[in-house]
């Protein structure tokens, strides 16, 4: 049965090829946007006098009927339709007969699919922004409860200097803020209408592409019809911004996984988000952050797939582009569910073990820099102070004691400039409190940051 295409075709497709060629199984996901795009197109056709107002009204009404069928799950999709665009047109003609055949005037599936995809992605970006903000709020709430909780700060995963736990978590709020800004920037380029470019060259039908663009809320239209139908940069940019979101989620995931281990024991997973083992009854596993970490692979993969798909394509439209959809759909699905899961994890899935954390920061040499800084305040050059403290640390390690265990006379033998006030500088609380340089972990600075984010996230 030769159906969809023109009379040039005499024979039907091989059934395997028919199914290989079809995108209806996944691009049905775009049906709402396809209907929105068609409604705008048909209204424009009437505005421009290309079809009558009555015809436009008839088509519009039928498109709304199709929307209802889709919403209620009655919309019939089959492989014969090839894709969502044909499926809608087929149903339209079924519903209203020959008038329905006027819908595709001055349009091609090439500009149509670009329009649908951009409308869909624009909406997804807006939803993602809400997800990202919720995640930031969850980070904020944990931060807000832990301004004075200290956690070892690491470099090279070696204890470096203690920090406020709020400060540590607020670092992730910053990353997510950049993610939001990046998406907003991508949105600007998503929000350009390709509708009117037709197959590749524009059309001789006297359409007005600016009308459809404004009806659909696009901020502008294409400048070049060839570029309009063959630009998928926006998909790559989106996949790239999504990859960074996943990267940030994965870094936090990795930390939570470490923190939940017996070795760290910095957090306890609640029963709401942890899972058990089928064999070992004592286990409580951090499946949520592990899955998020694991799901990075597919999002990075989609970015790579999109880049590779585009790189060899001559202008303008090529069927290769059909591959963009599943990549984008899965990217959005993965990023959104990962953000939601990580938000829940922060909201109700983990508790910081403050006693373990304070024991951790009390039992190391992460106040060594503060002794060096103290000597600097007494007029000793930093590099010299650094060497002196290195020697003291070695001696303490040999004796199995900490810096605070040295007696005042022992300190004064090391350097006579040292007074009792050094001991105030050694407590982890003081170590943290003293780091008041802008953006530092000093409590007064972190408080500023908390105030900033409380307001920023309230609006």
> Where on the chain is the footprint of ligand ARG (CB under 6 A)?
23, 27, 83, 109-110, 113, 317, 319, 321-322, 325
Encode 127-145: b = buried (16+ Cβ within 10 Å), e = exposed. Answer: ebeebbbbbbbbbbebbee
CB of 431 to ligand ARG, least distance (A): 59
Residue 112 C-beta: closest distance to ligand ARG, Å: 7
**Is 277 a known active-site residue?**
yes
Residue pointed to by tokens 């939940």 = 260
417 class by beta-carbon count within 10 Å (0-12 exposed, 13-18 middle, 19+ buried): middle
Which CB sits closer to ligand ARG, 110 or 161? 110
For the CB of residue 320, give the shortest distance to ligand ARG in the complex, in Å: 8
List, in sequence order, every residue forming a beta bridge with 154; answer none if it has no partner.
159
* Cβ-Cβ contacts under 8 Å for 26 (sequence gap 6 or more): 325, 326, 329
Picking from 8, 25, 34, the residue whose alpha carbon sits closest to that of residue 103 is: 34
Q: Measuring CA to CA, how many Å separate 300 from each of 240, 305, 412?
A: 8, 9, 57
Q: Which residues face 275 on adjacent strands?
A: 285
Closest to ligand ARG by CB, 320 vs 413, is 320
CB of 85 to ligand ARG, least distance (A): 6
From 19, 261, 277, 444, the catalytic residue: 277
Query: Least separation, in Å, of the C-beta of 118 and ligand ARG?
Result: 13
CB-count exposure of residue 303 (10 Å: 0-12, 13-18, 19+): buried
Q: Beta-carbon neighbour count of residue 405 at 10 Å? A: 11
Nearer Cβ to ligand ARG, position 230 or 242? Answer: 230
Q: Is the C-alpha dihedral spanning 134, 138, 139, 145 positive or negative?
A: positive
Residue 82 CB, shortest distance to ligand ARG, in Å, is 7
- Judged by beta carbon, residue 311 or residue 319, the one nearer ligand ARG is 319
Comparison of 113 and 360: residue with beta carbon closer to ligand ARG: 113
Measure Cα distances from 120 to 179, 187, 304, 435 in Å.
Answer: 19, 11, 21, 47
Q: 110 vs 124, which CB is nearer to ligand ARG?
A: 110
Q: Which of 6, 156, 204, 409 is catalytic?
A: 156
Which run of H or E residues covers position 455? helix 443-458
| Beta-strand relationship, 350-352 and 267-269 | antiparallel
CB neighbours (10 Å) of residue 108?
A: 19
Q: Mind telling me the catalytic residues?
A: 156, 277
């Amino acid at each position: 049965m030769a159906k969809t295409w023109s009379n040039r075709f005499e024979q039907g497709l091989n059934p395997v090829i028919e199914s290989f060629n079809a995108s209806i199984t996944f691009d049905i996901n775009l049906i709402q946007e396809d209907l929105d795009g068609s409604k705008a197109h048909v209204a424009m056709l009437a505005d421009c006098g290309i079809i009558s107002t009555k015809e436009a009204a008839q088509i519009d009404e039928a498109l709304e009927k199709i929307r209802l069928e889709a919403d209620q799950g009655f919309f019939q999709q089959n492989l014969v339709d090839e894709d969502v665009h044909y499926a809608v047109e087929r149903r339209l003609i079924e519903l209203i007969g020959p008038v329905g055949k006027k819908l595709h005037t001055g349009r091609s599936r090439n500009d149509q699919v670009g329009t649908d995809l951009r409308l869909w992605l624009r909406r997804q970006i807006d939803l993602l922004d809400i997800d990202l903000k919720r995640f930031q709020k969850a980070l904020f709430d944990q931060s807000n409860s832990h301004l004075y909780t200290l956690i070892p700060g690491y470099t090279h995963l070696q204890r470096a200097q203690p920090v406020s736990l709020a400060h540590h978590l607020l670092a992730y709020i910053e990353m997510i803020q950049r993610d939001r800004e990046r998406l907003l920037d991508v949105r600007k380029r998503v929000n350009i209408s390709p509708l009117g470019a037709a197959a590749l060259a524009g059309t001789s039908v006297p359409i007005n592409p600016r009308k459809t663009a404004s009806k659909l809320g696009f901020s502008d239209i294409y400048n070049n019809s060839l570029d309009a139908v063959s630009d998928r940069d926006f998909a790559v940019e989106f996949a790239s911004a999504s990859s960074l979101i996943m990267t940030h989620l994965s870094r936090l995931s990795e930390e939570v996984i470490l923190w939940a281990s017996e070795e760290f024991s910095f957090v306890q997973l609640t029963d709401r988000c942890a899972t058990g083992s089928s064999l070992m009854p004592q286990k409580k596993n951090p499946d949520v952050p592990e899955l998020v970490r694991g799901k990075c692979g597919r999002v990075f993969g989609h970015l790579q797939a999109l880049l590779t798909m585009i790189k060899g394509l001559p202008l303008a439209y090529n069927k290769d582009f059909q591959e963009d959809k599943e990549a984008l759909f899965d990217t959005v699905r993965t990023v959104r569910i990962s953000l939601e899961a990580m938000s829940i994890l922060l909201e109700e899935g983990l508790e910081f073990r403050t006693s373990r954390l304070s024991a951790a920061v009390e039992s190391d040499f992460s106040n060594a820099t503060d002794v060096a800084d103290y000597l600097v305040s007494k007029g000793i050059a930093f590099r010299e102070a650094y060497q002196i403290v290195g020697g003291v640390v070695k001696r303490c390690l040999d004796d199995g004691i900490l810096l605070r265990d040295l007696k005042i006379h022992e300190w004064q033998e090391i350097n006579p400039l040292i007074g009792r006030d050094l001991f105030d500088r050694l407590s982890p609380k003081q170590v943290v409190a003293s780091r008041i340089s802008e953006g530092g972990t000093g409590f007064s600075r972190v408080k500023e940051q908390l105030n900033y984010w409380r307001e920023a996230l309230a609006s």
